[in-house]
């Protein structure tokens, strides 16, 4: 029989109960006991959902109060001394590492948190010491939670992050130089001990995640998989090694070390083509866990296609050696579609969130076991839904397709090269040396949120809301006058979110009311969903920018979110290549850019902070292909303007080494980038590659309320001038100011402008 399996379930709960409980606990409004009880309640509820759906293999230890990698840091006692020496309760020590702790005389910042592969989830980085040791926690969480489920009548398959991934995803602590992977021999015995305990508790099989297998791995990391030979034995549970978000074909040389494992899980949604090769690698008794239900997106699985894939595997392995699984943990999908009351019924029928996906693996497994007739109704409904989706007017807009077919190479290019453009912009915009600007948003005050809420709820009219926004714009312009900035912004008071705002004004998008996905810790995001061909029914930002320009004495910068960021921070379609969706977004934005210019906006910034996170995980052809269409979509959206109009772009980071050629190829007149928290040395790449255009490396950190002094900013600029020419340099903060208060914003910007004036007079 073909079994069904889920690799992990979202932790938040249907109403983000975990977020609420954590935040209440942090605010001293919930006791520790109540927090732990709420965690337990959520775990049990999630197991029950899967059990009721009929899932054969249900995960445990996939739940985490904050982050599952952080769980393992604590599980192995890989806790830096600055946390372990504080005498905190385990749960507080855990949160201290995850989010810092500033209470009762203790003051420790958090461990570093970074993106989990190419998802929007963030994990806490294992931070290791030169003299690192590991020791299994006294009451190991995976064992505790296995027993908890067992007591509730559910036998689970515990999930562990494997030793190679744990180390490879980690780093040496400040002041240490240890190569994490060199600690493997110390770590493996702890895994053995843990696995023994799991087996003793009754766990027959364990899912061990080694997602780093989708990366290009250094030789040492590959060699580390030899450790798996030690994780097999009579006293140990059987292991299913799970990989996701990519293919593992390039790492097949590690397979000899995995030969004794019970099974291998691969992501056949992202890389279906790896199936044949993987089948060829499996040992004579090994099981394949086939990830055919997308853990990263919200679309209903195409049953027909999924069953075909599973059947290919069955032909080679037989039913008992094939498991139908989600492609990855369902952590990256919202909890349940049931709470969506406002989605158009037509569209809702195309979606499947975590709860629904648990049923999908069951149906596919049943079809593969007993034949299609056994689940005929489900298959028919599914085929009908897919058919309706592919022929819906919502998904197909002939005007958009027609326009895409006529896109030319010339549309991607500005009229003249940068020197000619710059000459025109200089006279047109009359900018001084070291021009000052901000990145777009100004503080989103409580009043702004209140008014927006009232408007959304229909408590004030559109006209009243517009008046309010105008007043906000007037205010920020007055403030920018006082600050003597050179290029103004309108402050973005009308925008709830930099992607949602545009999505709501484009055809082809829909929005959920409760489709929250964990981003990190207690923070969740609710990505818009691209359901069909995208087009712009009407201008989206022109009214506000035009009004702002009409009352400003200085150039007003229009502010747009770029095509790649709109795509990456949404759930994209799975029926059309992402490059096609990016081009549709680009065409919509191109019209907006041209309309802004016609309305008298001659500086236009198109933000692309998500460009880097879209980079395919491995270097090579796939990455280059992505960069080509990503760059093309930016150029297509911006190149429709006259030479005298200045195009800016913004990135929230300055590590461009890996793909500098793409950043250069954007051909933006001005780039504003994060730089205050990273090293000015990163600017060297601009010198090495003789980058000719203008750059505004952030001179201060906007994530903290701290006010940078004028002399500090002058020092920053001095450092930047070691790399960039005076007439190349803009002066601006790292990013938008929406999370700041006005008092610190004014003070910081005053110092920033004074520092710029100092250099202006000097040069
Ligand atoms: N223009 C946006 C802002 O200022 C940019 C935000 C971002 O880069 N994440 O808020
Ligand atoms: Zn930014």
* Nearest Cα residue to 534 out of 508, 557, 559: 508
* pLDDT tens sequence across 81-114: 999 999 999 999 999 999 999 889 999 989 999 9
Kindly tell me the burial class for residue 489, based on how many C-beta atoms sit within 10 Å of its own C-beta (0-12, 13-18, 19 or more). buried
Tokens coding 740: 């700041």
Q: Which of 120, 441, 561 has most ligand 1 atoms within 8 Å of its beta carbon, as the pocket-test mutant?
A: 441
CB 7, CB 242: distance < 8 Å: yes
pLDDT-derived band of residue 315, with 50, 70 and 90 as boundaries? very high
Please report the sign of the dihedral spanned by the C-alpha atoms of residue 230, residue 232, residue 236, residue 237. Answer: positive
Tokens coding 175: 């002041």
DSSP 543: H
CB 265, CB 243: distance < 8 Å: yes
* Nearest Cα residue to 628 out of 409, 430, 435: 409
State the closest ligand 1 atom to the C-alpha of 652, by its place in the atom list counted from 1: 8
Tokens coding 197: 């305990």
Q: Side-chain half-sphere of 636: how many Cα atoms within 13 Å?
A: 25
The span from the CA of 44 to the CA of 30, in Å, is 20
Residue 677 has a pLDDT of 82
Q: At 717, is the secondary structure helix, strand, or coil?
A: helix
Q: At 446, is the secondary structure helix, strand, or coil?
A: helix
The span from the CA of 73 to the CA of 69, in Å, is 6
**Alpha carbon distances (Å) from 239 to 210, 229, 244, 259, 318:** 12, 11, 16, 11, 19
DSSP 395: T
19 annotated binding-site participant: yes
Residue 699 has a pLDDT of 97
The CA radius of gyration of the chain, in Å to the nearest whole number, is 27
Please report the sign of the dihedral spanned by the C-alpha atoms of residue 638, residue 642, residue 643, residue 648. Answer: negative
* pLDDT tens sequence across 405-426: 999 999 999 999 999 999 999 9
Neighbouring CB atoms inside 10 A of 155's CB total 15
Sequence-distant (≥ 6) Cβ neighbours of residue 432 within 8 angstroms: 486, 760
Q: At 697, is the secondary structure helix, strand, or coil?
A: strand
Ligand 1 site, residue 57, Cβ cutoff 6 A: no
CB 291, CB 267: distance < 8 Å: yes
Residue 154 has a pLDDT of 98
703 is catalytic: yes
pLDDT-derived band of residue 573, with 50, 70 and 90 as boundaries? very high
Tokens coding 595: 């309309």
**Alpha carbon distances (Å) from 668 to 166, 397, 648:** 39, 31, 6
Ligand 1 site, residue 609, Cβ cutoff 6 A: yes
- Mean pLDDT, the chain, rounded, equals 97
Which is it for strands 122-124 and 507-510: parallel, antiparallel or unpaired? unpaired
Residue 679 has a pLDDT of 84
Residue 704 has a pLDDT of 86
Which residue has its alpha carbon closest to ligand 1 atom 1? 440
CA 526 – ligand 1 centroid, Å: 17
Bridge partner residues of 524 (DSSP)? 518
Ligand 1 site, residue 498, Cβ cutoff 6 A: yes
pLDDT-derived band of residue 703, with 50, 70 and 90 as boundaries? confident
* Nearest Cα residue to 53 out of 355, 339, 374: 355
**Chain-centre distance of CA 727, in angstroms?**
35
pLDDT-derived band of residue 488, with 50, 70 and 90 as boundaries? very high
The span from the CA of 137 to the CA of 143, in Å, is 11
DSSP symbols for 505-520: TSEEEE--SS--EEEE
pLDDT at 705 over 90: no
Ligand 1 site, residue 607, Cβ cutoff 6 A: yes
Please report where in the chains the tokens 């491995």 appear, as a residue. 618
- Helix/strand/coil percent split, the chain, to 5: 50, 15, 40
Residue 693 has a pLDDT of 98
Please report where in the chains the tokens 């027909």 appear, as a residue. 304
The span from the CA of 616 to the CA of 663, in Å, is 16
pLDDT at 454 over 90: yes
Q: At 115, is the secondary structure helix, strand, or coil?
A: strand
CA 337 – ligand 1 centroid, Å: 30
List alpha helices for 323-417, DSSP H.
Answer: 345-348, 354-370, 376-391, 398-405
The span from the CA of 504 to the CA of 203, in Å, is 48
pTM above 0.90, yes or no: yes
CB 674, CB 698: distance < 8 Å: yes
* pLDDT tens sequence across 32-48: 999 999 999 999 999 99
Containing 559, the helix (H) or strand (E) segment is strand 557-561
* Nearest Cα residue to 703 out of 671, 735, 672: 735
pLDDT at 240 over 90: yes
CA 310 – ligand 2 centroid, Å: 43
CA 107 – ligand 2 centroid, Å: 28
Ligand 1 site, residue 71, Cβ cutoff 6 A: no
List alpha helices for 551-667, DSSP H.
Answer: 563-568, 578-598, 621-638, 660-665
DSSP symbols for 263-295: EEEEETTT-GGGHHHHHHHS-TT-EEEEEEE-S
**Predicted ipTM beyond 0.90:** yes
pLDDT at 495 over 90: yes
Which residue has its alpha carbon closest to ligand 1 atom 5? 736
Q: What percent of the chain is predicted at pLDDT more than 70? A: 100
Alpha-carbon torsion, ordered 45, 46, 47, 52, to 10 deg:
80
Tokens coding 399: 């005007």
The span from the CA of 510 to the CA of 138, in Å, is 48
Ligand 1 site, residue 738, Cβ cutoff 6 A: yes
* Nearest Cα residue to 597 out of 560, 562, 567, 627: 560
Which is it for strands 127-128 and 171-172: parallel, antiparallel or unpaired? parallel
Residue 437 has a pLDDT of 98
**Alpha carbon distances (Å) from 525 to 16, 496, 511, 522:** 11, 12, 12, 10
571-582: burial string, b at 16+ Cβ within 10 Å, e else: bbbbeeebbbbb
* pLDDT tens sequence across 190-226: 999 999 999 999 999 999 999 999 999 999 999 999 9
């Amino acid at each position: 029989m073909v079994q069904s399996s889920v690799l992990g379930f979202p932790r938040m709960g249907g109403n983000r109960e975990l977020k609420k409980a954590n935040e209440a606990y942090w605010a001293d409004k919930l006791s520790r006991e109540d927090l732990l009880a709420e965690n337990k309640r959520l775990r049990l509820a999630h197991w029950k959902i899967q059990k009721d759906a009929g899932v054969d293999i249900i995960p445990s230890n996939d739940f985490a109060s904050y982050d599952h990698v952080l769980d393992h840091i604590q599980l192995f006692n890989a806790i830096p001394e600055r946390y372990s020496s504080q005498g905190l309760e385990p749960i507080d020590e855990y949160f201290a590492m995850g989010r810092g702790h500033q209470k009762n005389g203790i003051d420790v910042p958090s461990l570093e948190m970074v993106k989990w592969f190419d998802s929007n989830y963030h994990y806490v980085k294992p931070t290791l010491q030169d003299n690192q040791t590991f020791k299994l926690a006294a009451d190991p969480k995976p064992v505790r939670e296995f027993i908890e489920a067992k007591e509730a009548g559910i036998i689970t398959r515990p999930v562990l992050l494997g030793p190679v991934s744990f180390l490879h995803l980690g780093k040496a602590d400040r002041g240490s130089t240890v190569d994490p992977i060199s600690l493997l021999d110390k770590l493996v015995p702890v895994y053995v001990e843990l696995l023994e305990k799991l087996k003793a508790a009754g766990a027959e099989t364990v899912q061990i995640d080694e997602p780093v297998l989708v990366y290009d791995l250094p030789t040492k990391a590959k060699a580390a998989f030899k450790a798996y030979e030690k994780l097999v034995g009579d006293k140990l549970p059987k292991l299913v090694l799970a990989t996701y978000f990519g293919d593992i074909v390039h790492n097949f040389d590690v397979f000899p070390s995995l030969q004794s494992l019970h099974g291998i899980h691969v992501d056949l949604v992202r890389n279906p083509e790896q199936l044949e090769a993987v089948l060829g690698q499996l040992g004579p008794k090994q099981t394949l866990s086939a990830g055919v239900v997308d853990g990263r997106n919200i679309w209903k699985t195409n049953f027909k296609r999924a069953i075909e894939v599973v059947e290919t595997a069955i032909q080679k392995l037989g039913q008992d050696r094939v498991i139908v699984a989600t492609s990855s943990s369902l952590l990256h999908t919202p909890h349940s579609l049931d709470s969506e009351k406002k989605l158009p019924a037509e569209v809702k029928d195309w979606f499947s969130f975590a709860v629904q996906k648990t049923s999908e693996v069951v149906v596919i497994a049943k079809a593969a076991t007993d034949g299609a007739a056994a689940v005929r109704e489900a298959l028919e409904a599914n085929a009908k839904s897919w058919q309706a989706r592919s022929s819906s007017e919502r998904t197909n807009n002939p005007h958009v397709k027609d326009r895409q077919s006529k896109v030319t190479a010339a549309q991607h290019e500005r009229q003249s090269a940068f020197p000619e453009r710059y000459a025109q912009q200089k006279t047109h915009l009359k900018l001084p040396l070291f021009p000052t600007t901000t990145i777009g948003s100004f503080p989103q005050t409580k009043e702004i949120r209140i008014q927006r809420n009232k408007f959304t709820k229909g408590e004030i009219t559109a006209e009243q809301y517009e008046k309010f926004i105008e007043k906000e714009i007037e205010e920020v312009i007055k403030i920018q006058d006082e600050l003597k900035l050179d290029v103004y912004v309108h402050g973005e008071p009308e925008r709830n979110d930099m992607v949602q705002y545009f999505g709501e004004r484009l055809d082809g998008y829909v929005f959920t009311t409760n489709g929250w996905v964990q981003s990190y810790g207690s923070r969740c995001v609710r990505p818009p969903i691209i359901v069909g061909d995208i087009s712009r029914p009407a201008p989206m930002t022109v009214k506000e920018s035009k009004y702002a320009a009409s009352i400003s004495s200085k150039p007003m910068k229009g502010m747009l979110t770029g095509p790649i960021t709109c795509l990456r921070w949404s759930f994209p379609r799975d029926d059309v290549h992402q490059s096609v969706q990016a081009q549709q977004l680009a065409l919509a934005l191109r019209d907006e850019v041209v309309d802004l210019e016609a309305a008298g906006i001659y500086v236009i910034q198109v933000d692309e902070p998500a460009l880097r996170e879209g980079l395919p995980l491995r270097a090579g052809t796939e990455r280059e292909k992505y960069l080509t269409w990503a760059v093309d979509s930016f150029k297509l959206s911006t190149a429709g303007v006259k030479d005298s109009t200045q195009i800016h772009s913004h990135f929230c980071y300055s590590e461009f080494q890996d793909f500098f050629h793409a950043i250069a190829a954007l051909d933006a007149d001005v780039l504003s980038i994060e730089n205050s928290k990273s090293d000015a040395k990163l600017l060297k790449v601009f010198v090495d590659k003789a980058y000719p255009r203008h750059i505004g490396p952030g001179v201060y950190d906007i994530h903290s309320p701290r006010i940078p002094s004028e002399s500090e900013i002058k020092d920053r600029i001095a450092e930047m001038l070691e790399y960039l020419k005076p007439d190349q340099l803009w002066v601006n903060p790292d990013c938008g100011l929406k999370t700041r208060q006005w008092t610190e914003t004014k003070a910081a910007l005053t110092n920033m402008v004074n520092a710029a004036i100092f250099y202006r007079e000097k040069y």
